[in-house]
Amino acid sequence: MTPDSILPSLAYITIFPGFLFLAVYGLYLQWVDRKLCAVMQNRMGPPLIQPLADFIKLLAKEVIVPDAADSRMFRLLPFFAMAAVMTAVISIPVGAHALCSFQGDMVVVIYLLTIPTVTFFLAGWSSTSPYATVGAMRVLTQLFAYEVPLMLALIGPAILAGSWNLTEISAFFAAKPYLIPTQLLGFLAGIIALQGKLERMPFDIPHAKNEIVGGQFTEYSGRLLAFFYLAIDMELVVGAALLNAVFLGGSLGLTGWAAIPVFLAKTLAITFLLALLKVLMARIRIEQMVNFCWKYLAPAAIIQILADIVLKYKLG
């Protein structure tokens, strides 16, 4: 490789759509997700800077490694999770093309996105904490639940496009956008599977706070926990980009900087669907329950009583 070709590749890996873009956009999507959920539940939600502030706060805190844990593995696992996510984005066409494109790259991307889940399991298992161990087992069990549906959802568009290359699949649907609605069922399956992969409600079983404290991350603190959370935010970006490339035609044939707004709009739309799914399963506030019961449930019950009275009268 010549210096002229190395520099663009390094920029692709480190700046866009590599680490810097994934980190910044991941934190932004975390805020979008939290803000959307808040608005849907009639709450204020966090300020724009909140995800970054939380990340910096964790960076400033002390890292405590359990005595019985493997210290080297305990410290390295968050970075393996981030590295896998950053490697996966190289084969996903954020614009018209991907940096590393080859037949079968879709399978490689799915494999790379499995690695963070494995690191979550190892993080909990190596912590030697009972809560973390239970969370780790749930992580592994949930992996077997959503991984097959996710793969099956992605196979359909690949068969229709006649390719296992993400760039070619994206170009196929960009050239034939009228076929995109035919993939609705697979897209919905992919969205739900991605929700499980990201361990979002109602699939937040591995770290259910009312059951096992913090799940697989119970013993993690400081910058190590911050990097785990950042890896999850980055995985949200990569997962949304993968669904966009496979089901939504990617950049719709646009090239250069013109493709970026299309990518951002579609990934934001996917984040909205993920937030909507989470809100549908979320716990509501007490005053919202009171309003719902008195405005809707009570009148519905009264209508049912009146209908029963009329029916009894007619039946004699």
Cα 149 to Cα 204: distance, rounded to the nearest angstrom? 18
263 pLDDT higher than 60: yes
Q: Are residues 171 and 234 in the same domain?
A: yes
Tally the domains of the chain: 2
Residues 6+ apart with CB under 8 A from 126: 69, 70, 73, 74, 77
pTM beyond 0.85: yes
Q: Are residues 204 and 271 in the same domain?
A: yes
Q: Are residues 173 and 104 in the same domain?
A: yes
Q: Are residues 113 and 195 in the same domain?
A: yes
Q: Are residues 195 and 304 in the same domain?
A: no
10 Å CB burial of residue 63 (0-12, 13-18, 19+) is middle
Q: Are residues 292 and 154 in the same domain?
A: no
Q: Are residues 198 and 155 in the same domain?
A: yes
* pLDDT tens per residue across span 99-158: 888 899 999 999 999 999 999 999 988 888 888 888 888 888 888 888 888 888 888 888
Q: Are residues 136 and 274 in the same domain?
A: yes
Lowest mean pLDDT among 90-99, 207-216, 222-231: 207-216
Parent domain of 305:
286-316
185 pLDDT higher than 90: no
Q: Are residues 116 and 257 in the same domain?
A: yes
Lowest mean pLDDT among 21-25, 192-196, 298-302, 311-315: 311-315
Q: Are residues 258 and 309 in the same domain?
A: no
CB atoms within 10 A of CB 184: 10
- According to the model, what pLDDT value does residue 3 have? 60
Q: Are residues 164 and 313 in the same domain?
A: no
- Average pLDDT on 164-190 reads 88
* pLDDT tens per residue across span 80-92: 999 999 999 999 9
210 pLDDT higher than 70: no
Q: Are residues 300 and 176 in the same domain?
A: no
3 state SS for the chain: CCHHHHHHHHHHHHCCCCHHHHHHHHHHHHHHHHHHHHHHCCCCCCCCCHHHHHHHHHHHCCCCCCCCCCHHHHHHHHHHHHHHHHHHHHHCCCCCCCCCCCCCHHHHHHHHHHHHHHHHHHHHHHHCCHHHHHHHHHHHHHHHHHHHHHHHHHHHHHHHHCCCCHHHHHHHHHHCHHHHHHHHHHHHHHHHHHHHHCCCCCCCHHHCHHHHCCHHHCCCCHHHHHHHHHHHHHHHHHHHHHHHHHHCCCCCCCCHHHHHHHHHHHHHHHHHHHHHHHHHCCCCCHHHHHHHHHHHHHHHHHHHHHHHHHHHHHHC
